[in-house]
């Protein structure tokens, strides 16, 4: 079973908003008490927040589906629905949030940093909130909005000060165990380290963390071995340490060639992804070289042989032995010095600026587009307000549909349809193509709220109330008189035929 997970896919869903309530207050001696329906509660949101107690994404690996609680429905007597609580998910420091296409949505660094992965739906208004001077007792309420759903990819980039890189079995895990209290798995075969190991080192008054990155091999930046999977853990490290094996038995390897191979892989990885780690580019960060396993006589001779060449490149070289702990103390203090310098030179984090982006003067908040496909023509209406109003409308209630028509007319949707070339009977779709509300547009439909004089729950605008013309009235009167004359003629015919005679006579 996996004990370290640094990449997961989370299916987050916000809670649905509660429906508003349509209720009329009923109390003795108060026949006209008015509407008292309460609003529905807002749904909870799914929030990702950095928690210092969380170090891995293992919990999301086992439970990837997360749904926030929904808000409850409003009730009569002005009782508001309960608000759904936000679902706060703790993530490790250094978690990067991406969408399924790989676009970065948030970089969560620092305790308390958070990102709303799936906002909850807004609760619907009750009829008490919808009452006005012209609509004193609405017989409808608004529906709650459904919560948003989103699939997010979480990638953990370890927050460490020093990264140990090198070939498999170079002694990186042994070095972490020798200079810190960490006890990673150590064995004499390649790829013993399958997950990054972290250790805390105390050097005098300085304290820093060291990350042991699983072994790199040629082609790691292209996906070979385990390198590509864990190379992202060095992106935030301030100092890179090359751990070179001076006691290797492979004939085609030596410390200098190993260093060149690892540097080439790091350059390829940084060049492909454009990683700069937030401070300095990966290729410009301080580097140290550790010639390991000098407790072996042949390894000590090889270390003394290659040290001048490495120092000629401007690299600080340390000969150490994790078995005898020789040379570890100077190494820890040298790392502490470079880490402290990097911390001093790091820019002071600034508070997030609040950026105000006012809307343009001619921005109505929606668009009307004429579309044609397969000989079919329709007009698509897209915008935050129209789509939200459609989701909140109960289409089984005629009065609610009339209220939606009022809102769309005040927003200017009908005028934009005229400008787009829409005529009576054209098909109009509000919302996305996959889930839109379709209706035939009738521009002559009156949308004034002053016409809402009928019984509650009805809308006279949806009834056929056209006035007949004078010719239609004359035709109707003539047909009615002809029908009466035909009835009288039929009765007279029956009378002459004796159908009305008394059978006893």
**Cβ within 8 Å of residue 97, ≥6 positions away:** 48, 104, 105, 106, 107, 108, 115, 117, 152, 153, 154
Q: Is 193 annotated as a binding residue?
A: yes
Q: Is 121 annotated as a binding residue?
A: no
Q: Is 257 annotated as a binding residue?
A: no
Q: Is 327 annotated as a binding residue?
A: no
Counting every residue written for the chain, the total comes to 505
Q: Is 321 annotated as a binding residue?
A: yes
Q: Is 459 annotated as a binding residue?
A: no
Q: Is 385 annotated as a binding residue?
A: no
Q: Which long-range contacts (CB under 8 A, 24 or more apart) does 341-349 make?
A: 341/286, 342/161, 342/238, 342/239, 342/279, 342/286, 343/238, 346/238, 346/279, 347/279, 349/110
3-state SS of 372-416 is EECCEEEEEEEEHHHHHHHHCCCCCCHHHHHHHHHHHHHHCHHHH
Residue 361 structure tokens: 């003067």
Q: Is 5 annotated as a binding residue?
A: no
Q: Is 22 annotated as a binding residue?
A: no
| 350: helix, strand or coil | coil
Residue 385 structure tokens: 């307000």
Q: Is 295 annotated as a binding residue?
A: yes
Q: Is 323 annotated as a binding residue?
A: yes
The whole-angstrom separation of Cα 400 and Cα 387 is 15
DSSP letters, 47-103, are EEEE-TT---SHHHHH--EEEPPPPPPPBTTTBPPPPPPPEEEEE-TTEEEE-TT--
Phi, psi of 477 (to 5 degrees): -65, -40
Q: Is 123 annotated as a binding residue?
A: no
Residue 290 structure tokens: 């550790």
Q: Is 192 annotated as a binding residue?
A: yes
| 445: helix, strand or coil | coil
The strand pairing partners of 195, in sequence order, are none
Q: Is 173 annotated as a binding residue?
A: yes
Q: Is 169 annotated as a binding residue?
A: yes
Q: Is 215 annotated as a binding residue?
A: yes
| 441: helix, strand or coil | coil
The whole-angstrom separation of Cα 430 and Cα 401 is 14
The whole-angstrom separation of Cα 270 and Cα 228 is 11
* b/e per residue 409-446 (b: at least 16 CB within 10 A): bebebbebbeebebeeebebbbbeeeebbeeebeeeee
Q: Is 166 annotated as a binding residue?
A: yes
Q: Is 248 annotated as a binding residue?
A: no
Annotated binding site for GTP: 166-173, 191-195, 212-215, 292-295, 321-323
Annotated binding site for Mg(2+): 173, 193
Annotated binding site: 166-173, 191-195, 212-215, 292-295, 321-323
């Amino acid at each position: 079973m996996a004990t370290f997970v640094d990449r997961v896919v989370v299916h987050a869903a916000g809670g649905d908003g509660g429906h508003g309530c349509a209720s009329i207050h009923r109390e003795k001696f108060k026949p006209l008490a008015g509407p008292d329906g309460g609003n529905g509660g807002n749904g909870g949101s799914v929030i990702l927040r950095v928690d210092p107690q969380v170090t891995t994404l293992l919990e999301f690996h086992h439970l990837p589906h997360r749904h926030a609680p929904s808000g409850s429905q409003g009730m009569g007597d002005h009782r508001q629905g309960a608000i759904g609580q936000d679902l706060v998910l703790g993530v490790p420091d250094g978690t990067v949030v991406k969408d399924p296409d790989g676009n970065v949505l948030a970089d969560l660094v620092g305790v308390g940093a958070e990102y709303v992965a799936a906002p909850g739906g807004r609760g619907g208004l009750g009829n008490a909130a919808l009452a006005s001077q012209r609509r004193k007792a609405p017989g409808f309420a608004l529906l709650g909005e459904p919560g948003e759903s989103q699939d997010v990819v979480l990638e953990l980039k370890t927050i460490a000060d020093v990264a140990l890189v090198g070939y498999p079995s170079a002694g990186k895990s042994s070095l972490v165990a020798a200079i810190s209290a960490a006890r990673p798995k150590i064995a004499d075969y390649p790829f013993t380290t399958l997950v990054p190991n972290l250790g805390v080192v105390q050097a005098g008054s300085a304290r820093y963390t060291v990350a042991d990155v699983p072994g790199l091999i040629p082609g790691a930046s292209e996906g070979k071995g385990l390198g590509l999977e864990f190379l992202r853990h060095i992106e935030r490290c301030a100092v890179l340490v090359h751990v070179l094996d001076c006691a290797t038995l492979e004939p085609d390897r030596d410390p200098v060639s190993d260093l060149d191979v690892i540097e080439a892989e790091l350059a390829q990885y940084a060049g492909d992804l454009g990683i700069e780690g937030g401070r300095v580019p990966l290729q410009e960060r301080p580097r140290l070289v550790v010639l390991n396993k000098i407790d072996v006589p042949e390894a000590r001779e090889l270390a003394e042989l290659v040290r001048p060449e490495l120092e000629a490149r401007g690299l600080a070289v340390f000969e150490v032995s994790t078995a005898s702990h020789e040379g570890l103390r100077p190494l820890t203090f040298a790392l502490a010095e470079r880490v402290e310098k990097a911390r001093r030179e790091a820019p002071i984090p600034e508070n997030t600026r609040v950026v105000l982006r006012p809307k343009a003067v001619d921005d109505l908040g929606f668009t009307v587009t004429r579309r044609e496909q397969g000989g079919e023509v329709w007009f698509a209406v897209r915008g935050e307000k129209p789509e939200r109003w459609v989701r909140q409308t109960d289409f089984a209630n005629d009065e609610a549909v009339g209220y939606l028509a009022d809102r769309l007319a005040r927003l200017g949707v009908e005028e934009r349809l005229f400008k787009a070339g829409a005529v009576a009977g054209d098909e109009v779709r509000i919302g996305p193509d996959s889930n839109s509300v379709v209706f035939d547009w009738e521009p002559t439909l009156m949308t004034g709220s002053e016409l809402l004089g009928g019984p509650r729950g009805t809308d006279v605008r949806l009834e056929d109330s056209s006035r007949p013309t004078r010719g239609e009235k004359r035709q109707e009167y003539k047909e009615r008189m002809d029908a009466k004359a035909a009835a009288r003629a039929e009765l007279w015919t029956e009378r002459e035929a004796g159908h009305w005679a008394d059978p006893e006579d």
